[in-house]
Amino acid sequence: MLFNSVTFICFHILALLLYWVLASQRLRLLVLLLSSLVFYGWYYWPGLILLSITIAINYGLSWAVSYYKKQWIFVIAILINLCNLAWFKYATFIFDNIELLLSKFIPNIQMPEINYWLPLGISFYTFQFLGYLTDLKRGEVTFEKSILHFAVFKCLYAQLIAGPIVRAKELLPQLHKKQYFNFQNFQKGFFLLIGGLCIKICTADVLAQYVDYAFGTPEELSTLHAWLSMYGFAFQILGDFWGYSTIAVGIGLMYGIVLPDNFKFPYRSASFQEFWRRWHITLSIWFRDYLYIPLGGSRTKGLIYRNLIITMTIAGVWHGAGWNFAIWGFCHGVLLVLERKLGTNKIKLKGIKLWLKRFFIFNIVCLLWVFFRAETFLEALAFFKSLLIGPYSFKISRLETLVVIIALFSLFSYRLGRLFIDHNFTKLSLTKQLLITTGLILLILGYAEAKLDFIYFIF
Amino acid sequence: MKLFFKSSNSKQKALPYFGFLLVIFIALELLFNTASVIFSNTTSRVRLKSAMFELRGDTEVLFLGSSRFKDGISPDLYSKHFLEISGKNWRSFNGAITGANIERLDYFFNKAIQKKGLKYVVIEVSMPQLSRKKEDIIATEKDKDLDAKLSGFFAEKSKLIQWRKALRLDNLKNAPAILFSDYMQGSELYRQGIVSDLFNDKKTSVNKELLKPWTPLVIAPNTQHMSIDTADYSVVFNSFKNIMQKAKANKVNVLLVVPPLANNKKKEESHKEVLNLYQKLANVTQQKIYNFALLDISERYFRDKDSHLNKQGRDLFSVRVANLMAQNLIKN
């Protein structure tokens, strides 16, 4: 089920009503679990089987990890989850590359063809399992005995498919505590839901039409068209993912559950380090805590750079099974290393210098998005050719709309995004609250088109 | 209730927020119900122009056609010239739209013919105008999944949802055109060439010399058998038959005109089969067709290669159509 569909809105209202009408916390959790399973199965019901099995197996594994406290059990538990992810997400990629490599030595070699479907949100829920198991091992959380609480923690529909990646110590205590209906939280949740939908529908989906065309025909683009499309994609992916995360946090709040923020104006970053502290925050924290630090983090000076590059390359591959994503992650890793080496991430700038640096970082980030968006490495190269290599042409055909959308998005998203923080919205006067909400709902009504998937669904 | 409302302060602003929000949307629903003529017609070009025509005051002449007519006819100049030569002060409206086709023509004509005081309809005959496309005047939900069904259900119950696309900024900008349709002549909308015309073209002084090449060829109805596969165009012929019948019943005259073509379009749209089609149409409707497509009209009167006239071309063509109509009136 998609957040941006009428079915979801009806479903969410029903689930909310049922949740708040029930007085018992266990029954409420049961409502959350069942609605999460319906939500997940709606898209492709066989996915439910894998999700249920994964939850059951991980419940057993987490019990074993916490009960026996053995390193090898922990390693097996991690490997089982990684194998599950590798099989469903990376098998084709791995086999294709093995075939390519071996074909040089063994002609006519054929690896098995894997035609499995990609289970929705598998990367997200696998990472949540891995994080929980590691926290258990480290003694940061205790084993969750109730299978109901455990299952809701793993598949709460607000964040099941595309995050934010919630940690056990953040969510489980909230599930144990009986929630009281708080109008202010409910209102903020409602506003976040509307705001997120508006960002997704009125900006990301509108930009998608232009961007899809441009990346589909990179050789036909004028230089100006290519640059505008690149910026277009930068805002499309922000709108898409930030919109989703905002909706998720809003849904959580409507149930009285606080989920972590995932975005904090990433394109205002003055360094790559800052960018990763503002973009997909929960994923960055996950990689920091469960990969970068275990690798040695910044404790051994000589290994910082290696750890950074490994972490970022894996983060790239996490996004998708393809060399494009690996290159994208690797480049970010290299940039983080360069930044550290030059010490530019620590320089405090003000005024015009700060804005110039932000502009520079933004453009590099946008250029790297080309690897992320292009279907293949060759397609990315073709796009770079249109962007950077002549003959330069500045023909514009119907691109004024794209310029207007990008300009409006950057202004609109900043103004709106400030209201998403803390209780900035609920502190506004009632008239302003009403005007803003009405405006957003009207925009959603006007621009809601055929439902477009969220980009991060495939990760 | 204590269970739900733990904090009494927090609900102080939140309760009226949801209450007023409900009131606002009830008010918007009422607005969409009372002014549905505006909201329901802003989302489609043909419905927009049809509504403008329906709502404006007395209008005696209506032009229907594709973007070639939309750019090629200036109702103001036409009416002025027509007054000079015929003494009749007839107001006219340019109902031509970009992307015209036979279904859209049917829709517009059947609505327009009901307007009291309408005396003349000038219809463009051209390949775009005679083309057929999927019905798109009234959007219909084709998908039958639950989401489509739910959307359909809510759209049935609420005008705000039914005409929600009117809320898009690019559609909303059409609302004033309907509100002030009496002051508009139909050519102001979607004119891509208007900016280049303003800056590039000098004022045309329409004179006899300039008008000379603009004398159309006449395709008169005859009894000759046409070797044309009529099955492909049966819908077109039926539409035109219907148009002629309705026009006759309502005592409205019809003038069929093939607009001028730029050189590169001539090969495409003036070959034998197309001319046969026009002849067949003349025979079916028993109506003369005035053909400007074969004339040797200078390229400087076109603003692009798609046969859209520029300001100079438009002025000359408008005057020539006014002359044709005046001649026809005298004959009738």
pLDDT band at A313 (very low <50, low <70, confident <90, very high): very high
Mutation pick from A4, A14, A183 vs chain B, by most beta carbons of B within 10 Å, is: A183
Is A215 domain-assigned?
A: yes
Question: Are residues A146 and A86 both part of a single domain?
Answer: yes
Radius of gyration of chain B (CA): 24
Question: Are residues A54 and A172 both part of a single domain?
Answer: yes
Q: What is the pLDDT of residue B145?
A: 79
What percentage of chain B has pLDDT greater than the value 70?
83
Q: What is the pLDDT of residue B7?
A: 45
Chain A residues within 8 A of B166 when measuring between CB atoms? 446
Question: Are residues A161 and A222 both part of a single domain?
Answer: no
Q: What is the pLDDT of residue A395?
A: 62
Q: What is the pLDDT of residue B228?
A: 56
User: Whole-angstrom Cα distance, residue B102 to residue A448?
Assistant: 30
Which residue is closest to A433 within chain B, CA to CA?
B17
Question: Are residues A150 and A230 both part of a single domain?
Answer: no
What's the mean pLDDT when you consider all of chain A?
87
Q: How many domains does chain A have?
A: 2
Examine the pLDDT at A302 and tell me if it is beyond 80.
Answer: no
Residue A56 structural domain: 6-178
Is A319 domain-assigned?
A: no
Q: What is the pLDDT of residue A414?
A: 80
Which residue is closest to B169 within chain A, CA to CA?
A446
Q: What is the pTM of this model?
A: 0.82
**Closest C-alpha to A311, from A326, A322, A324, A300:** A326
Domains, chain B, in order of start with CATH, read: 38-140+184-331 (3.40.50.1110)
Is A165 domain-assigned?
A: yes
User: Whole-angstrom Cα distance, residue A211 to residue A217?
Assistant: 10
Question: Are residues A123 and A17 both part of a single domain?
Answer: yes
Q: What is the mean pLDDT of residues A7-17?
A: 92
Structural domain ending residue among the three candidates A156, A178, A200: A178
Chain A / chain B CB contacts < 8 angstroms: 76
Question: Are residues A39 and A156 both part of a single domain?
Answer: yes
- Match 């051209």 to its residue by tokens: B126
Q: Would you call B18 and A187 a contact, using CB atoms and an 8 Å cutoff? A: yes
Our separate counts of H helices and E strands in chain B read: 17, 6
Give the number of residues written for chain A: 459
Q: Taking a C-beta distance cutoff of 8 angstroms, is the pair B94, B59 a contact?
A: no
Question: Are residues A397 and A434 both part of a single domain?
Answer: yes
Higher-pLDDT residue of A386, A151:
A151
A398-402, B224-228, B302-306, range with greatest mean pLDDT: B302-306
What does the pLDDT look like over A175-199, one tens digit per residue? 998 888 888 889 999 999 999 999 8
pLDDT band at A106 (very low <50, low <70, confident <90, very high): confident
Q: Is A319 among the residues known to form the active site? A: yes
Q: What is the mean pLDDT of residues B248-263?
A: 90
Question: Are residues A155 and A229 both part of a single domain?
Answer: no
Surface-to-core class of residue B158, CB atoms within 10 Å of its CB (0-12 exposed, 13-18 middle, 19+ buried): middle
Examine the pLDDT at A261 and tell me if it is beyond 80.
Answer: yes
Q: Would you call B147 and A6 a contact, using CB atoms and an 8 Å cutoff? A: yes
Structural domain ending residue among the three candidates A150, A178, A206: A178
Question: Are residues A166 and A246 both part of a single domain?
Answer: no
CA torsion A332-A333-A338-A341 (nearest 10°) is 150
Q: What is the mean pLDDT of residues B116-120?
A: 90
- DSSP state, residue B302: B
Q: Would you call B6 and A182 a contact, using CB atoms and an 8 Å cutoff? A: yes
- DSSP state, residue A112: P
Surface-to-core class of residue A132, CB atoms within 10 Å of its CB (0-12 exposed, 13-18 middle, 19+ buried): buried
Examine the pLDDT at A110 and tell me if it is beyond 90.
Answer: no
Residue in A176, A319, A332, A423 annotated catalytic: A319
Question: Are residues A358 and A393 both part of a single domain?
Answer: yes
Q: Taking a C-beta distance cutoff of 8 angstroms, is the pair B70, B187 a contact?
A: yes
Which residue is closest to B6 within chain A, CA to CA?
A180
Q: What is the pLDDT of residue B189?
A: 65
User: Whole-angstrom Cα distance, residue B22 to residue B12?
Assistant: 17
Q: What would the two tokens of residue A28 be?
A: 């409420």
Contacts within 8 Å (CB) and 24+ apart, A113-120: A116/A87, A116/A88, A116/A91, A117/A44, A117/A46, A117/A47, A118/A88, A118/A89, A118/A458, A119/A47, A119/A50, A119/A51, A119/A88, A120/A40, A120/A43, A120/A44, A120/A47, A120/A161, A120/A457
**Residue type at B301?**
Y
Examine the pLDDT at B135 and tell me if it is beyond 60.
Answer: no
- CA of A192 to nearest chain B CA: how many angstroms apart? 14
What does the pLDDT look like over B67-82, one tens digit per residue? 888 888 888 888 888 8
Question: Are residues A100 and A233 both part of a single domain?
Answer: no
pLDDT band at B229 (very low <50, low <70, confident <90, very high): low
Question: Are residues A164 and A213 both part of a single domain?
Answer: no
Is A26 domain-assigned?
A: yes
Q: What is the pLDDT of residue B3?
A: 41
Rounded to 5°, angle at Cα B88 from B86 and B92 = 110
Contacts within 8 Å (CB) and 24+ apart, B230-233: B230/B280, B233/B130, B233/B277, B233/B280
A70-79, B165-174, B260-269, range with greatest mean pLDDT: A70-79
Higher-pLDDT residue of B138, B126:
B126
- DSSP state, residue B219: E
Q: Which of A6, A183, A433 faces B150 most closely, judged by CB atoms? A: A6
Structural domain ending residue among the three candidates A178, A203, A235: A178
